[in-house]
Structure formats: structure tokens, C-alpha cells
């Protein structure tokens, strides 16, 4: 006895047929009146789907991996987490086909920035692979980090000069004020008093170290005894960022921006004129001169008055500087 036609079942492979109650010759002998039951069993096995293996490993260069660090990779859009718990490794079975591997952003590490991300598959720099049945794709993702360089202090040089002032009336030093600002014009701290010392050419200057920022440079009191202040001219040169609305001279100051490891300079020129009102000489009444002939008496009187006025002026100047 044997089965002559076996039914096919989708997704399964036929393995064999088993019979029960058959003799050694796969037959059965029945006497008159006998009854026997024969069981026929067809055995199948489920077909194995074609499959491939995909292994993804993650490495980090340039920094020790911090606690809690994890990354997200996507295989044809399906996301997977790689972290310390799984050893930054993913092993999955996939159907044969074409796959694209990508990392969802470069995970931030405090104090470092992600310099480069490299993806290789089976030793080739690529993000795509086509896997055939029973093949394996080995993916290596490497993130290279570099330490963030903190902006170094820049240098701010302030120079000042006076116009219309006698050298001997110039002060030994002059104070200006430097105040850090933000881009909205709000102060970020108290003003720094910067003393400008007098140079041999009668200018004043000082150089200070400041952070990468916007600064307002002003004078507190431009008045100078014996002179009338007529105004200040400010100019600035900077290697820093341009700050919209903060690059125009103001009445008593200017804004300047320093760059990373950069420099900035502010030049201030104050203009004055001498206040002669403080030194109006008191001229005593002229004594009558002896009678002269002709008009020469008038001339002598004028000369005497001029000499007396000059003497009074010099005396007043001397008193001022004593």
C-alpha cells in the first residue's frame, strides 16, 4: 500500500509518508470477515525563509564614552538603540535585499563636538548594502569627537588724545569705563574703570584683556579745568563679530566687539578751547602821563596798558599752575 498523490502545502516541504499496521512488505493481509485500519501520516517541514545577517557596531574616538551615552541607528528606517547594555552592538536577521544604514544624529558629549561620522559596510565606506540569501553584512559606525576650544580672551586697546589743550595743562592720567553688553543692549555686569596713562607724545592709552563680547566704551567726565569741552570723536576697529545697531558712535561712547583670540581698539579724541573768561586781567586805572607834544601821548598810554594787561595775564597763569 502506498499513497500515490500527496497534497502540496504552501510554505511547507514534504518530508515523508508513514503507514501504520503494514507488514514488512508494506502490505496487509486480511482473512474473510477481518477488518483492519491503516493510518497514513504525511510529514512536512516548514520552509525556511531566505535570510541574511546584519551586524552593526559602534565605536567612539577622541573621548571616553560617558555614562548614559547611546545612539540611534536606522536600518531601512527602522530605528534601533545602541548603548552600554548591548555593548554598542546590534545583531539582526533580515530578509535578503537592499539596506540603508544611517545614524540619527551624532550624540552630544559635554565639552566635545562631533568632528566626523564614518560608516563602513564590509570594509567599504558606504551606507548601502545588498544582501543575498545566507550572507552577512558587517557595519561599523565611528564617531570622532574633538575637545571644544573655549574662546580665548581678546585684547581691547583704548587710546585717547586731546585737541586744543596746552601740553602743560594735560592730566597725568584719564579714566574711561568699559561695560560688557549683550546684543539687545542690556548690560551684563558692572563697568570696568580703565586708567589711561599719559604717553611721551601726550596721548593716553591702555590695553586690557576681555572676553568675546560687545563692549560699551564711555567717558565719565570729559571736562578739563580751564577749558570748554566741545565734543568727542570716537572710532573703533575690531576683529570681532559685527553687531547690528551697535557700531555707530554715540555722544559719549562707542560700542566695539572683540573676537575669539582677536583684538579691538577704540580711539577717542576730545576737543576743547581755552576758557579765557577765567583769566580776564584786572587792569588798574591808568595814571596821567606827563604832558607830551603832538599825538605821541596817546601812543604811550596804549603801550602802557598793553604791558600791564600782559603782566596781569602771565601772573594769573602762574597762579593757576603754582
Does any domain span residue 295? yes
How far is residue 246 from each of residues 48, 153, 220, 268, measured CA to CA in Å? 73, 21, 20, 17
Does any domain span residue 94? yes
Model pLDDT for residues 149-171, shown as the tens digit of each residue:
766 677 889 999 999 999 999 99
Which three three-digit cell numbers place residue 60?
567612539
Q: Which of 118, 147, 176 is the last residue of a domain?
A: 147
Of 63-67, 107-111, 147-151, 318-322, which gets the smallest average pLDDT? 318-322
Assess whether 289 and 182 both reside in one domain: no
Assess whether 167 and 271 both reside in one domain: yes
Beta bridge partners of 289: none
Of 45-54, 94-103, 126-135, 160-169, which gets the smallest average pLDDT? 45-54
Assess whether 80 and 183 both reside in one domain: no
CATH number of the domain where residue 74 is located: 2.60.40.1140
DSSP state of 303: H
Could you list the beta-strand ranges (E) of the chain: 12-19, 40-46, 52-61, 70-75, 78-83, 89-94, 97-103, 112-121, 124-125, 128-131, 136-147, 154-163, 173-181, 192-198, 204-210, 214-219, 227-238, 253-257, 263-274
The C-alpha atoms of residue 67 and residue 13 are separated, in whole angstroms, by 50
Assess whether 177 and 254 both reside in one domain: yes
Looking at every residue in the chain, the average pLDDT score rounds to: 79
Does any domain span residue 1? no
Structural domain including 197 reads: 154-276
CA atoms within 13 A on the CB side of 272: 21
Nearest 10 degrees: Cα torsion 297, 301, 307, 311? 150
Cβ atoms 6, 14 nearer than 8 A: yes
Assess whether 165 and 263 both reside in one domain: yes
pLDDT, residue 27, reads 77
**Higher pLDDT residue, 131 or 31?**
131
Total tally of structural domains belonging to the chain = 4
Amino acid at each position: 500500500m502506498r499513497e500515490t498523490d500527496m497534497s502540496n502545502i504552501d510554505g511547507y516541504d514534504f518530508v515523508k509518508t508513514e503507514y501504520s499496521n503494514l507488514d514488512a512488505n508494506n502490505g496487509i493481509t486480511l482473512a474473510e470477515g477481518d477488518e483492519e485500519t491503516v493510518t497514513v501520516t504525511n510529514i512536512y517541514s516548514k520552509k525556511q525563509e531566505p535570510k541574511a545577517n546584519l551586524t552593526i557596531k559602534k565605536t567612539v574616538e577622541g573621548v571616553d564614552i560617558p555614562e548614559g551615552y547611546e545612539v540611534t541607528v536606522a536600518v531601512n528606517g527602522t530605528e534601533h538603540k545602541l548603548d552600554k547594555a548591548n555593548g554598542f552592538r546590534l545583531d539582526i536577521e533580515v530578509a535578503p535585499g537592499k539596506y540603508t544604514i544611517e545614524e540619527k544624529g551624532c550624540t552630544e558629549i559635554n565639552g566635545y563636538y562631533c568632528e566626523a561620522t564614518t560608516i563602513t559596510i564590509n570594509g567599504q565606506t558606504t551606507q548601502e548594502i545588498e544582501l543575498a540569501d545566507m550572507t552577512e553584512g558587517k557595519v561599523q559606525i565611528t564617531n570622532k569627537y574633538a575637545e571644544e576650544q573655549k574662546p580665548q580672551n581678546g585684547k581691547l586697546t583704548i587710546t585717547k588724545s586731546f585737541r586744543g589743550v596746552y601740553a602743560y595743562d594735560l592730566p597725568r592720567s584719564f579714566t574711561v569705563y568699559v561695560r560688557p553688553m549683550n546684543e539687545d543692549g542690556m548690560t551684563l555686569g558692572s563697568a570696568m574703570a580703565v586708567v589711561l596713562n599719559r604717553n611721551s607724545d601726550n596721548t593716553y592709552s591702555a590695553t586690557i584683556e576681555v572676553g568675546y563680547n560687545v563692549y560699551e566704551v564711555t567717558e565719565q567726565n570729559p571736562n578739563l579745568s580751564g577749558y570748554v569741552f566741545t565734543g568727542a570723536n570716537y572710532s573703533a576697529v575690531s576683529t570681532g563679530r559685527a553687531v547690528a545697531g551697535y557700531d555707530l558712535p554715540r555722544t559719549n561712547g562707542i560700542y566695539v566687539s572683540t573676537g575669539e583670540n582677536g583684538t579691538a581698539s577704540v580711539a577717542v579724541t576730545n576737543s576743547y578751547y581755552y576758557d579765557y573768561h577765567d583769566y580776564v586781567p584786572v587792569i588798574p586805572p591808568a595814571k596821567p602821563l606827563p604832558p607830551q607834544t603832538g599825538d605821541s601821548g596817546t601812543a604811550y598810554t596804549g603801550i602802557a596798558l598793553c604791558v600791564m594787561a600782559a603782566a596781569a595775564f602771565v601772573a594769573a597763569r602762574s597762579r593757576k599752575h603754582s
